[in-house]
Amino acid sequence: MLKDYFSHETAIIDEGCEIGKGTKIWHFSHIMSNCKIGENCNIGQNVVVSPDVVLGKNVKIQNNVSIYTGVICEDDVFLGPSMVFTNVINPRSAVNRKNEYLKTTVKQGASIGANATIVCGHDIGRFAFIGAGAVVTKTVPDYALVIGNPARQTGWMSEYGHKLNFDKNGIAICPESNEKYQLKENTVSKL
């Protein structure tokens, strides 16, 4: 069967994986058993995708990222260099907790910056933006900008990745796309 994705000769792809058309898997990466990877993804150098992970379409994973069992990344997610997911809240080498993996969903269009850490069981909202080095210890709302350790929300982001400045009526316009957003009851929606 002819594959319609690219994998570098040093990449390892285990049995039972589904990999979408146009996806690229680069040097020294390991795609473990039963992963589902959408079309047009880019999986950088030295990436590990653990068993049963699901990646949507157009997911961009930079170098040195490990995506552990229990993680789902929806379409158009960006994972920055060396960012980290966890999958057990209280790991111990001598205690097997494989049946206790907590799920984490990174929703459509979210970006996670370089060296950020996402503690398992906390979902990342649609088009949220996690700053470089942030440590996420709670669920992040749609369009939220979070930074720091522990991560705290400092603003809102557009779908094009620009910080939104809301007027007195709770309306903001993305400077790149000119799309309008509304802030109402601490929730952002695109108009």
Q: Which pLDDT tens digit goes with each residue over 36-87?
A: 999 999 999 999 999 999 999 999 999 999 999 999 999 999 999 999 999 9
| pLDDT (0 to 100) of residue 2 | 67
3-state secondary structure of 98: helix
Structure tokens at 14: 């285990």
Q: Are 118 and 102 in contact (CB under 8 A)?
A: no
Element housing 66 (H / E): strand 66-67
Spell out, as residue ranges, where the chain has pLDDT lower than 70: 1-2
| pLDDT (0 to 100) of residue 161 | 97
CA angle in degrees (0–180, nearest 5) for 73-79-82: 130
Structure tokens at 105: 């969903």
Q: Are 82 and 114 in contact (CB under 8 A)?
A: yes
Determine the longest span between alpha carbons in the chain, in angstroms.
Answer: 59
Assessment of whether the complete model's pTM goes beyond 0.75: yes
Cα 22–chain centre separation = 19
